[in-house]
Amino acid sequence: MSGAADRDKGERGARGGSVKNRRRRGRELALQALFALDHQGSREVVPAGATVTQALYRIRERALAAELECALADGCERDEARALVDALKRIDKKNALALETEAWLEGKGPIPLPPSADERAELEAVRGGPDELEFCDTIAKGVCEHRDAIDRLLAESSTNWRVARMAVVDRNILRMGVFEMQHLADIPPRVTLNEAIEIAKRYGTSDSGAFINGILDKIASQLGQLGRRAGDGGGDG
């Protein structure tokens, strides 16, 4: 997933405050947590043998720190900075960026230095505020809780592909999509499909979008959702 940061370079400041944008970011953060848990070679984010709670703890700390650093660089309001500092200190009371920002808010020090262009690109790939992280938690915990049932459905719906043989990114996007369709009734299935495809194009390979679309579309049809809720496709996802 290392190429995601490069794709973020042209998106600085583009993230809006809509439900759709917050949920898209929440899905991306959930994918990062699930990827780290699932990929044996990725231990820079979470340690080997970590639980989903431990993984989300690390993702949350990293995301909030990146969100705070980007917000300060963009000239955010002091109230926003204070809220992010408080959220970050609830995770780590000694977080250096939180303490440095707190000193600035209290008039006891300068504002933290802004990131370089390259650093900003990396921060954009992992940033997330409280709303995004709340949705991230819902998705990641839900996938882990129901993973066996989800994987059985994926195995039944994929042709010539065992779940274990799928690319790590692809299978976790599929798991997220199935969880949404089965357990998050407020999200229209067409939105779930479209979001999964877009995230697959961003983080997967050139074939990921079509691969994921085919399987999730089949599962949605099996669940009777596309026909039953076909008119819901314009909702926020």
What Rg, from alpha-carbon coordinates, does the chain have?
19
The domains of the chain, with CATH numbers, are: 16-132 (no CATH), 146-224 (1.10.940.10)
pTM of the model: 0.83
Give the Cα separation of 112 and 106 in Å (integer). Answer: 13
Give the Cα separation of 220 and 13 in Å (integer). Answer: 34
Supply φ then ψ for residue 158, to 5 degrees: -105, 135
Helix axes 168-183, 147-157, angle to 10 degrees: 110
Q: Which two tokens stand for residue 107?
A: 């008039």
pLDDT by residue for the chain (237 residues), tens digit each? 644 444 443 343 444 467 788 999 999 999 999 998 887 544 455 555 578 888 899 999 999 999 999 999 999 999 999 999 999 999 999 999 999 999 999 999 999 999 999 999 999 999 999 999 999 999 999 999 999 999 999 999 988 889 999 999 999 999 999 999 999 999 999 999 999 999 999 999 999 999 999 999 999 998 876 544 434 444 566
- List alpha helices for the chain, DSSP H: 4-7, 19-38, 52-73, 78-91, 96-105, 117-126, 130-145, 147-157, 168-183, 189-203, 208-222, 225-228
